[in-house]
Amino acid sequence: MKWMIDVDRLNKNFFLHTQGEAKIPVFRDFHMKLKPGESIALVGPSGVGKSTLLRLLYGNYKTGSGKILVHHNGDVLNMAGADPHMILHIRKWTIGYVSQFLRVIPRVPAIQVVMEPLTVRGASEKEVRPRAEELLSRLRIPERLWSLSPTTFSGGEQQRINIARGFSATYPVMLLDEPTASLDPVNSGTVVEIIKEAIGMGTSIIGIFHDEDVRNRLASRCVEIQPVNNHTK
């Protein structure tokens, strides 16, 4: 396997039909490859399309044209235009994603939020609880909060729940959108450790890391995203 993900001639525009048919071009003929074991940091000015790229790779945004090839379950599949059922399967087993913000579900306790990626794979709560508890402890979420819904948690607490959730299961590929953004240095350090462990276990990573220090510690190379207008080549 020469690559885990192969992005080929990717184009993406947003069309805002309700706002005077505005067109926002984000990618034109963009390409990149993620090799096994690699850890790529996306760089570029704000609004250039870093988060958009991660969301395209995760199937959250719809690809305009081009291919996003993924090795999944022994096959090569194109994320762009894949059947939703297939995308869900890829998300369950192959590509993990830690978004910038936790999307909380009312009344679901934090510990359950963290265990979910494992339980949807068919494991019992009993089997996976130790892993969830380990992550929550390491991320310094007080035990009394575990059984509460994160709805009322602080921004930083929510983000740590989000990270625990993202890393409870292991995936061949992880997409990380500013995982340490709203964290203090101590917790930020823990997150870096957790990510490093995942890399050590063979996970390839594409991430957006604002913090230069974090980026230096995690990234094996950087990919710079160019604004479309100045985009040459």
Partner 1 sequence: MCMKNSDDIPLLKVESISKYYGRRIGCLGIEFELWPGEALGIVGESGSGKTTLLNCISGQLEPSEGAVWYSSNGGVIDMCNAPEPQRRLVMRTEMGTVYQNPRDGLRMHVSAGGNIGERLMANGLRHYGQVRRRALNWLEKVEIDQERIDDTPDTFSGGMQQRLQIARNLVTRPRLIFMDEPTSGLDVSVQARLLDLLRGLVTELDLSMVIVTHDLAVTRLLAHRLIVMRGGKAVESGLTDQVLDDPQHPYTQLLVSSILQP
Ligand X SMILES: Nc1ncnc2c1ncn2[C@@H]1O[C@H](COP(=O)(O)OP(=O)(O)O)[C@@H](O)[C@H]1O
The footprint of ligand X on residues 3-42 (CB under 6 A) is 14, 24, 26
Our finding on whether 47 is near ligand X (CB under 6 A) is yes
Specify whether the CB–CB gap between 64 and 12 falls below 8 A.
yes
Residue 74, phi then psi, degrees to nearest 5: 85, -5
- 73-102 mask for partner 1 (x: CB under 8 A)? x---------xxxxxxx---x---------
Member of 6, 40, 51, 70 binding ligand X (CB under 6 A)? 51
* Selected range binding partner 1 among 42-50, 115-123, 189-197, 205-213, rule: CB under 8 A: 115-123
Residue 227 is given by DSSP the state P
Residue closer to Mg ion, measured from CB, 51 or 162:
51
Our finding on whether 50 is near ligand X (CB under 6 A) is yes
Specify whether the CB–CB gap between 48 and 226 falls below 8 A.
yes
Our finding on whether 147 is near partner 1 (CB under 8 A) is no
The site for partner 1, by CB under 8 A, has a size of: 29
User: Cα separations (Å) of 171 from 2, 91, 106, 199?
Assistant: 18, 9, 27, 10
Encoded tokens for 143: 């035990």
Our finding on whether 22 is near partner 1 (CB under 8 A) is no
Secondary structure E strands in the chain? 5-16, 22-34, 39-43, 65-72, 75-78, 95-98, 173-177, 204-208, 221-224
Question: In the complex, what is the shortest distance from the CB of residue 50 to Mg ion, in angstroms, rounded to a whole number?
Answer: 5
Our finding on whether 51 is near Mg ion (CB under 5 A) is yes
Residue 206, phi then psi, degrees to nearest 5: -120, 125
Our finding on whether 215 is near ligand X (CB under 6 A) is no
Our finding on whether 52 is near Mg ion (CB under 5 A) is no
CA distance 59 to 95: 10
Member of 49, 96, 166, 179 binding ligand X (CB under 6 A)? 49
Question: In the complex, what is the shortest distance from the CB of residue 7 to ligand X, in angstroms, rounded to a whole number?
Answer: 15
CA distance 215 to 200: 16
Tell me which residues touch ligand X (CB under 6 A). 14, 24, 26, 46-52
Residues contributing to the site for partner 1 (CB under 8 A): 14-18, 55, 59-62, 73, 83-89, 93, 105-108, 118-123
